Structure 1
Amino acid sequence: MTRTNDDEPPEWAKERAREVMAAETTTEEPDDPDESTDERVPDVPADIVDEAERLTRLARQTDDDAAAAFYRERRDELVEAHEYVPRLREEDDTLVLYPAEWMDDGTVQLDRIETTDRAVEVSLSGPGDADRYEAIAAYNEAVADAVAEARDAVHADTAESFAAFMSNHYVRAVDDATPDMREEFRTEYLPRNGWPSDDQLAVLEESLSVIESVAADVDGPAPSEASDRPSSR
């Protein structure tokens, strides 16, 4: 049978057929990896960071070498279970948790760092979280009031001075003071700002022990909404 021009499909049909064929042969281009919205964040939980900080402080504060070694070993085990490695940066007294994959023979390899956000840093000295000042100050005042209610006035006077010192100088709870902070209070702050009596000075060490003992029965400061993670207390 001879095909005539009348048997040819109309031009619009030919164009439509070409569009369909083109659509069937077009493959979707892969997404640009640079446009990925996934972001790596620290893979170690906040409660593990808090515990690592607490154990580090305990190791620094104890005079027992065996206890200090135990605290450090326990800290290392907790952190390493999440594939992180703890290090102390001495120049600014900071506990740093590095992803284990960044390390080689105990040293951070810069070419392995894809984003510094994965590391965790915790200052071990100096002021605490300034955003928590009101909560810390209220807690320290509550401890001082509790000492005044339960113990002799000589201890209460020291508790009041120590509360002001820890709140204003370090924004830390009175029972979170390091040995260096206590030494600064004894030798510098109290003599200059507390106008201590001879009776106060005679029982100063006892007063500091009383403060810590009483603080154990006072509810800790409430976490700040602005804080990225809860307090380590």
Structure 2
Amino acid sequence: MTRTNDEPPEWAKERAREVLAAETDGEAEGAGGEADDDADDRVPDVPTETVDEAERLTRLARRTEEESAAAFYRERRDELVGSHDYVPRIREDDDTLVLYPEEWMEAGTVQLDRIETTDRAVEVSLSGPGDADRYREVAAYNDAVADAVADARDAVHADTARSFAAFMSNHYVRAVDDATPEMREEFREEYFPRNGWPSDEQLAVVDESLDVIEAVAADVDGPETS
């Protein structure tokens, strides 16, 4: 939220005075040998990785066709954001995920008189230009890789390839051969056992299947890695 008036609002002037005072106090504490806790004054108060995960869970909840799964992802998002004393809301007018400090809220509604500085809120667009096209492009490529695995390898690898394709498309909108070690671990340890309905044989060779997927993908034309 921004203002275009030449005269800053009162809360902005007050915030500037607070920042100046904090800097002065910090210098004094530094001279006295005490630790300065700048992290407590950070704006906004929610870590970037938490914002990214909240966005991912929101998008995942939207893409799933099962309401129980969507509710699960929204609950995970709300708990994650709530652990930092923030509340997530979707602003329907412009399709934006907004994270509000908890103390601004009452009965699920933002209380304008409690907003000391709008910089503490976080906004993430959920429908940026080209997002849908990018998703379709990546999903088509990942499905093509899964089909290629089915043509070239055993069914056990093909079944895992289909699950991994869905995971990478829906969770990260990234090509299967662009998965980081952390993404592969998340798939192997969390997503696959819960959502892939794997057989014992699939679980026993999941690492081999991931290697097969990457090798086969090298021969499939697809989107550039992101």
Given the two structures, how large is their TM-score scaled by the length of structure 1?
A: 0.44
Return the TM-score normalized by structure 2: 0.45
More helix by share: 2
Q: Considering only CA atoms, is the larger Rg found in Structure 1 or Structure 2?
A: 1
